Amino acid sequence: SWFTDSMREGKPVAVETRHLIQDAVATPPEGSKPASMATVSQFACQRRTTTENSNKKITDAFEVLAENYEFNEMDGSCLAFRRAASVLKSLPMAVRSLRETQDLPCLGEHTKAVMEEVLRCGRSFEVEKLLSDERYQTFKLFTSVFGVGPKTADKWYRGGLRSFSEVLADRSIHLNQMQQIGFLHYGDISGVVSKAEARSLRNIIDEAARATTPAAKVALTGGFCREKEFGHDVDFIVTTPELGGEETLLPKIIDELKKQGMLLYCDYHPSTFDINKLPSPKFEAMDHYAKCFLILRLEGSRVEGGLHIAEGDNRGWRAVRVDLVSPPVDRYAFALLGWSGSRQFERDLRRFARAKRGMLLDNHALYDKNKASSVPPLMELYLGLFV
Ligand code: DCT
Ligand code: MG
Q: Please write the tens of the pLDDT for every residue from 280-311.
A: 777 777 899 999 999 999 999 999 999 999 99
> What is the number of other CB atoms lying within 10 angstroms of the CB of residue 171?
5
CA-nearest residue for atom 16, ligand 1, is: 222
Q: What distance in Å separates the CA atoms of residue 210 and residue 44, rounded to the nearest whole number?
A: 37
For β-strands 359-361 and 263-269, DSSP reports them as unpaired
Which strands form 366-368's sheet, in the order they lie side by side? 359-361, 366-368, 373-375
Q: Which ligand is nearest to the CA of 344?
A: 1
- Distance between CA 213 and CA 366 in Å, rounded? 29
DSSP, res 378: -
Distance 234 CA to ligand 2 centre (A): 5
- Indicate the pTM of the whole model: 0.88
Which residues, at least 6 apart from 32, have a Cβ–Cβ distance to it below 8 Å? 39
DSSP reduced 3-state for 208: helix
Say whether the peptide bond before residue 124 is cis (omega within 30 degrees of 0). no
346 in contact with ligand 1, CB cutoff 6 A:
yes
233 is in an annotated binding site: yes
Which residue's CA is the nearest one to ligand 1's atom 12? 339
Ligand nearest to the CA of 223: 1
ipTM higher than threshold 0.85:
yes
The dihedrals phi and psi of 234, each to the nearest 5 degrees, come to: -125, 130
Q: What integer pLDDT is reported at residue 200 of this predicted model?
A: 98
Q: Give the number of other Cβ atoms within 10 Å of residue 110's Cβ.
A: 15
**Measuring CA to CA, which residue among 227, 222, 207, 294 is closest to residue 51?**
227
Phi, psi of 130 (to 5 degrees): -65, -45
Are β-strands 230-231 and 290-299 bridged in parallel, bridged antiparallel, or unpaired?
unpaired
CB atoms within 10 A of CB 24: 20
Which residue is closest in CA terms to ligand 1's atom 7? 343
Distance of alpha carbon 78 from alpha carbon 72, whole angstroms: 9
Q: Is there a binding annotation on residue 313?
A: no
Nearest to 323 by CA among 249, 236, 260: 236
How far apart (Å, rounded) are the C-alpha atoms in residues 253 and 265? 13
User: What residues are labeled active site?
Assistant: 233, 235, 323
Alpha-carbon span 340 to 221, nearest angstrom: 5
Which residue from 202, 233, 291, 325 has its CB within 8 A of the most atoms of ligand 1, so it is best to mutate?
A: 233
Residue 49 beta carbon below 6 angstroms from any ligand 1 atom? no
- What per-residue confidence (pLDDT) applies to 377? 63
Residue 308 φ then ψ, to 5°: -90, 80
Distance CA 75, CA 197 (A): 34
For the CA of 346, the closest atom of ligand 1 is 7
Q: Confirm or reject: Cβ of 342 under 6 Å from ligand 1.
A: yes
245 lines ligand 1 (CB under 6 A): no
What 8-state DSSP symbol labels residue 178?
A: H
Q: Could you tell me the distance, in angstroms and rounded to a whole number, from the CA of residue 101 to the centre of ligand 1?
A: 28
How far CA 60 is from CA of 65, 76, 110, 123, 377, in Å, comes to: 9, 19, 15, 10, 37
Listed in sequence order, the residues at least 6 apart from 61 whose beta carbon sits closer than 8 Å to its beta carbon are 114, 115, 118, 123, 124, 127
235 has binding-site annotation: yes
Q: How many A from CA of 150 to the centre of ligand 1?
A: 18
Residue ranges in the chain modelled with pLDDT below 50? 1-35, 380, 383-384, 386-387
Ligand of minimum distance to the alpha carbon of 78: 1
* CB of 348 closer than 6 angstroms to any ligand 1 atom: no
Atom of ligand 1 nearest to the CA of 347: 7
What number does the ligand 1 atom closest to the CA of 193 have? 25
Residue type, 326: S
DSSP 91: -
